[in-house]
Amino acid sequence: EVQLVESGGGLVKPGGSLRLSCTASGFTFSNAWMDWVRQAPGKGLEWVGRIKSKTDGGTTDYAAPVKGRFTISRDDSKNTLFLQMNSLKTEDTAVYYCTTADVGAWGQGTLVTVSS
Amino acid sequence: QAVVTQEPSLTVSPGGTVTLTCGSSTGAVTSGHYPYWFQQKPGQAPTTLIYDINKKHSWTPARFSGSLLGGKAALTLSGAQPEDEAEYYCLLSYSGARPVFGGGTKLTVL
């Protein structure tokens, strides 16, 4: 069974940092391009960023609102995707999902709240 | 950045047929945009219904189909069921640029 499980969300003050994790199972994680997508309360889906598989270069790309503040990485030996979020702003408050188009899977999401 | 447009809301009768569309501010949607369609029910994570215009996953009900229609990507629901009431999002990929979600269509089955 394909599964993505996010963790690491929580309450953080503006300017703070948080690292999200996404553990994958049921498919060949190392071959997959992985995305982070977020959803602010009551709003639509917003693409955050992507990391390609190492065989495709392992490069990353980010949406403009998070570029320079967020970093996506992966540990293929642990089937885990990461999202390092720095200099957090109140507008980063959202449920963060990891997803992969390769197998059409989504995690259940983890809530990040940025508030003083 | 491109803007992807969807109908904010649509209503369909049980058993009826409805088509949701997904347009791009840059022009006609083509196969090169690799359109995706996602379904999201309240309080749940999204699920992927359609990818690459019209390809389905094993869990996609047969009553859903994807196509290109009049310069847009389209999701057609034939034989709507009460459980199809949800928010539907499309996603378009842009060569050399980041993928963009549409704003979503709230589908009511009534």
Query: What is the tens place of the pLDDT at every residue in B50-101?
Result: 999 999 999 999 999 999 999 999 999 999 999 999 999 999 998 766 899 9
Contact list, A46 vs chain B (CB under 8 Å): 101
Q: What is the pLDDT of residues A11-53, one digit of tens each?
A: 999 999 999 999 999 999 999 999 999 999 999 999 999 999 9
Residues of B in contact with A97 (CB under 8 A): 45-46
B82-94 confidence digits (pLDDT tens) = 999 999 999 999 8
Cα(B41)–Cα(B59) distance, rounded to whole angstroms? 15
Which residues, 6 or more positions from B83, have their beta carbon under 8 angstroms from its beta carbon?
Answer: none
Is the CB of A45 less than 8 angstroms away from the CB of B46?
A: yes
Among chain B residues, the shortest Cα distance to A44 is held by B103
Q: What is the DSSP string of A8-57?
A: --EEE-TT--EEEEEEEESS-GGG--EEEEEE-TTS-EEEEEEE--GGGT
Contacts of A63 in chain B (CB under 8 A): 98
Q: Does A27 touch chain B (CB under 8 A)?
A: no
CA distance B103 to A102: 23
CB nearest A44 (choices: B47, B89, B98): B89
Residues of B in contact with A108 (CB under 8 A): 45
Contacts of A95 (CB under 8 A, 6+ apart): A9, A38, A39, A109, A110, A111, A112
Q: Does B94 touch chain A (CB under 8 A)?
A: no
pLDDT per residue as tens digits for the range B13-56: 999 999 999 999 999 999 999 999 999 999 999 999 999 999 99
